[in-house]
């Protein structure tokens, strides 16, 4: 186990070194501070677009006349159990392409580079929310057989490295394997997630201000059910950080 952990780490470092030489997205040669990010400045602009008019609750990009203070057209009427969410931007274009490539890669370097961009953007937000603990959305063990790593865990690890906030992998687990949310009709996604999380160690949760991490947020059902379990176990607050917000249509 230790050996495989260590070889994974070495591979990751090696990939990072290789990626340092050129932009992971477009292949342009990187210079100066760009090498820390693995992306050229032009690609960073696309991966982390300026926030135009973003909902504070679900992080959806909305039209200039929409209400965004308490909820927006994308999250109105949904009983979300986390307080607020932050993301790099909408799940589209280059950001979508990089997330997909990162999730299905043998290396987590790409997802970590994206998480670094998120960590830079959201640092002030994490301080404002007084986050004290990072928890990645756990995968059921059967999912782990299909992938090399849990994307949420790698994103959380990078956010932890950037912010200095501790990540814990042992307090919340999946209690059952789910039908993938992608194949579940939107209206049934909250139902599909019901009772799917189990708190293993509530001592570690009581009084904590928690940041849940995941790759994308769609209906918010997954993060909401995890937040509900954590709040019931005594967490003080739950916020969410994801790479991208998938808008699935109003309501």
Which spans of this chain sit near Zn ion (rule: CB under 5 A)? 23, 25-26, 28, 40, 43, 55, 57-58, 60, 72, 74-75
Quick one: 160 or 247, whose CB is closer to Zn ion?
247
Antiparallel, parallel or unpaired: β 237-245 and 89-90: parallel
46 vs 105, beta carbon nearer Zn ion? 46
| DSSP string of the chain, one letter each residue | -HHHHHHHHHHHHHHHHHHHHB-TTT-PBP-TTHHHHTS-HHHHHHHS---SSB-TTT--B--TTS--SS--TTTTT----SS-EE-SEES-HHHHHHHHHHHTSS-SHHHHHHHHHHHHHHHHHHHHTT--EEEEPPPPHHHHTTSSS-HHHHHHHHHHHHH---B-SSSEEESS----GGGS-GGGHHHHHTT-EEES-GGGTTT-EEEEEEEEESSSHHHHHHHHHHHHTT-SEEEEEEEEE------
Minimum CB separation of residue 74 from Zn ion in Å reads 5
The nearer residue to Zn ion, 40 or 211, going by C-beta atoms, is 40
Q: Which two tokens stand for residue 146?
A: 């299909």
Q: How far is the CB of 61 from Zn ion (least distance, A)?
A: 10
Closer Cβ to Zn ion, 34 or 168, answer by number: 34
Least distance from C-beta 4 to Zn ion, angstroms?
A: 32
Query: From the CB of 170, what's the least distance to Zn ion, in Å?
Result: 31
Q: CB nearer to Zn ion: give 173 or 248.
A: 248
23 or 221: CB nearest Zn ion: 23
To the nearest whole angstrom, how small is the minimum distance from the Cβ of residue 251 to Zn ion? 11
Residues 218, 248 contacting (CB under 8 angstroms): yes
Nearer to Zn ion, 25 or 228 (CB): 25
Helix axes 151-163, 109-128, angle to 10 degrees: 50
Query: Integer distance in angstroms from the first to the last C-alpha of the chain?
Result: 45
* Least distance between Zn ion and beta carbon 111 (Å): 17
């Amino acid at each position: 186990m230790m050996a495989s952990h260590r070889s994974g780490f070495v591979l990751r470092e090696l990939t990072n070194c290789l990626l340092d030489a050129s932009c992971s997205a477009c292949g342009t040669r990187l210079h100066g501070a760009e090498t820390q990010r693995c992306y050229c400045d032009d690609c960073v602009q696309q991966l982390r677009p300026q926030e135009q008019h973003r909902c504070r609750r679900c992080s959806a990009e909305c039209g200039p006349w929409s209400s965004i203070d308490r909820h927006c057209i994308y999250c109105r009427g949904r009983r979300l159990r986390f307080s607020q969410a932050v993301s790099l931007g909408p799940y589209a274009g280059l950001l979508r392409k990089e997330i997909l490539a990162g999730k299905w890669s043998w290396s987590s370097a790409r997802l970590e580079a994206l998480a670094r961009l998120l960590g830079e953007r959201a640092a002030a937000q994490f301080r404002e929310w007084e986050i004290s603990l990072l928890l990645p959305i756990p995968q059921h063990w059967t999912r782990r057989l299909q992938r090399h790593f849990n994307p949420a865990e790698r994103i959380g690890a990078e956010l932890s490295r950037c912010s200095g906030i501790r990540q814990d992998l042992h307090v919340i687990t999946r209690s059952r394997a789910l039908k993938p949310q992608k194949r579940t009709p939107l209206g049934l996604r909250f139902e599909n997630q019901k009772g799917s999380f189990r708190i293993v160690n509530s001592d570690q949760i009581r009084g904590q201000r928690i940041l849940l991490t995941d790759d994308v947020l769609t209906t918010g059902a997954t993060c909401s059910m995890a937040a509900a379990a954590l709040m019931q176990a005594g967490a003080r607050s739950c916020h969410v950080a994801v790479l991208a917000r998938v808008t699935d249509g109003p309501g």
